[in-house]
């Protein structure tokens, strides 16, 4: 399945895009998704375990990613 | 009134937020404003642009306001965070709370700003006098405690 991953702020700058399409086998976890992204050019500027949100909520690394999930990498937040 | 939590690209109107949280029951009505500061960590700042994962920022802010309202026993809470390009002194965030008593009003206002800074997916890029721009990374690393 293809998962679209949203990127923001410093992570979007590092990977040179606001989103990425990532090809993943079924039953892949958030951890697998992050590993796939870390193979992309520029991803060495990301931390080893970036925060991930699935369907607008912070997600644990063992969470299974389902077809159609909205996935985003969340850089360290800096609101206020 | 129903608690309000929004992210917006238009300037914040603090008095509109205050009016929302005033009521005959509230002996304390408190307004916190966050503004763009001209110096950060020794560097002269000319402005900040705020970016967000807008849909999630709105839902996290709503969750914070609902949780705060429940914890501190008032529905009179209004929070607005600005997005886009802001100049020095412009208001980036406003938190208005109304409560029968001041202790709880101060505690709730403080609790909301700390939660907002901890978990709402908003980012700021500072512009410096030398023309450079940098994303601010307050923690220096992702916050593992946000993961359930």
Residue pLDDT, tens place only, A8-47:
999 999 999 999 999 999 999 999 999 999 999 999 999 9
Query: B32, B53, B141: which to substitute to probe chain A, counting the most A Cβ within 10 Å?
Result: B53
Interface of A with B in 32-71 (CB under 8 A): 47, 49-51, 53, 56-61
What backbone phi and psi angles, to 5 degrees, belong to A44?
-65, -15
pLDDT at B6 over 80: yes
B102-119 and B54-72 helices, crossing angle to 10°: 150
Q: Report the distance separating Cα A45 and Cα A32, nearest Å.
A: 18
User: How high is the pLDDT of residue B140?
Assistant: 55
Here the ipTM equals: 0.95
Residue from the list B59, B123, B147 with its beta carbon closest to the beta carbon of A60: B147
pTM for this prediction: 0.94
Count of beta carbons in the 10 Å neighbourhood of residue A70: 15
Distance from CA of A25 to the nearest CA of B (A): 23
In the numeric block, the tokens 């980012």 are attached to B123
Residue from the list B140, B143, B148 with its beta carbon closest to the beta carbon of A60: B148
**CB-based contacts of B1: which residues, under 8 Å, 6+ apart?**
B20, B21, B23, B75, B76
Determine the average pLDDT of the residues in B96-105: 98
Q: Report the distance separating Cα B90 and Cα B135, nearest Å.
A: 18
According to DSSP, residue A24 is labeled: -
pLDDT at B114 over 90: yes
In the numeric block, the tokens 């950060």 are attached to B40
């Amino acid at each position: 399945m293809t998962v679209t991953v949203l990127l923001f702020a410093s992570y979007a700058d590092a990977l040179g895009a606001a989103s990425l399409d990532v090809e993943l086998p079924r039953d892949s976890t958030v951890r697998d998704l992050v590993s796939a992204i870390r193979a992309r050019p520029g991803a060495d500027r990301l931390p080893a375990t970036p925060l991930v949100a699935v369907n607008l909520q912070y997600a644990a690394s063992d969470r299974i990613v389902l077809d159609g999930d909205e996935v985003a990498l969340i850089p360290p937040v800096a609101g206020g | 009134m129903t608690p309000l939590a929004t992210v917006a690209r238009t300037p914040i109107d603090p008095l509109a937020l205050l009016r929302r949280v005033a009521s005959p029951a509230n002996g304390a009505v408190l307004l916190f404003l966050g503004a763009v500061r001209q110096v950060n960590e020794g560097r002269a700042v000319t402005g900040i642009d705020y970016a967000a994962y807008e849909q999630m920022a709105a839902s996290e802010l709503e969750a914070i306001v609902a949780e705060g309202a429940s914890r501190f026993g008032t529905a009179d809470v209004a929070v607005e965070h600005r997005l886009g390009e802001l100049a020095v002194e412009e208001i980036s965030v406003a938190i208005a709370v109304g409560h029968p008593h001041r202790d709880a009003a101060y505690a709730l206002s403080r609790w909301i700003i700390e939660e907002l800074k901890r978990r709402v997916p908003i980012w700021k890029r500072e512009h410096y006098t030398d023309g450079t721009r940098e994303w601010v990374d307050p923690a220096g690393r992702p916050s593992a405690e946000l993961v359930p």
